[in-house]
Amino acid sequence: MSDPTFYEKVYEVVRLVPAGRVTSYGAIAKYLGASRSSRLVGWAMNVSHGVSPKVPAHRVVNRNGLLSGKAHFGEPNAMASRLTAEGIVVVEDQIQHFDEVFWDPELELRVI
């Protein structure tokens, strides 16, 4: 990683996501000032397998609340299982009550 600045930022934001909440790639990208680089966020997650502390990539889904990245986990059910264990309802790889569990860094990490 010659210049993991972007990844580091992504990891940091993802790690800030509280248990029982989820966020979207676009929200993270926007918080980092790169709202159009949502794909890079997903790519960062792809590299986040061996980073430490561990990055809760299971709390990051696409803007529709769909577990788009579940296929990248060792077990396809690992992502849904972890979300369910945190109190998030997932049916058919789709997060239920997505608007209630959605965690927007721009709103939560904003200056109070």
Partner DNA sequence: ACAATGACTGAAT
Partner DNA sequence: AATTCAGCCATTG
Q: How far is the CB of 112 from DNA (least distance, A)?
A: 25
- Check binding of 34 to DNA (CB under 7 A): yes
CB atoms within 10 A of CB 86: 16
Determine which residue in the list 11, 22, 31, 37 makes contact with DNA, applying CB under 7 A.
Answer: 37
Residue with tokens 């986040």: 48
**Size of interface with DNA, in residues (CB under 7 A):** 35
Region 78-107 residues binding DNA, contact defined as CB under 7 A:
none
Q: How far is the CB of 43 from DNA (least distance, A)?
A: 6
Rounded Cα–Cα distance for residues 61 and 103 (Å):
11
Taking a C-beta distance cutoff of 8 angstroms, is the pair 86, 112 a contact? no
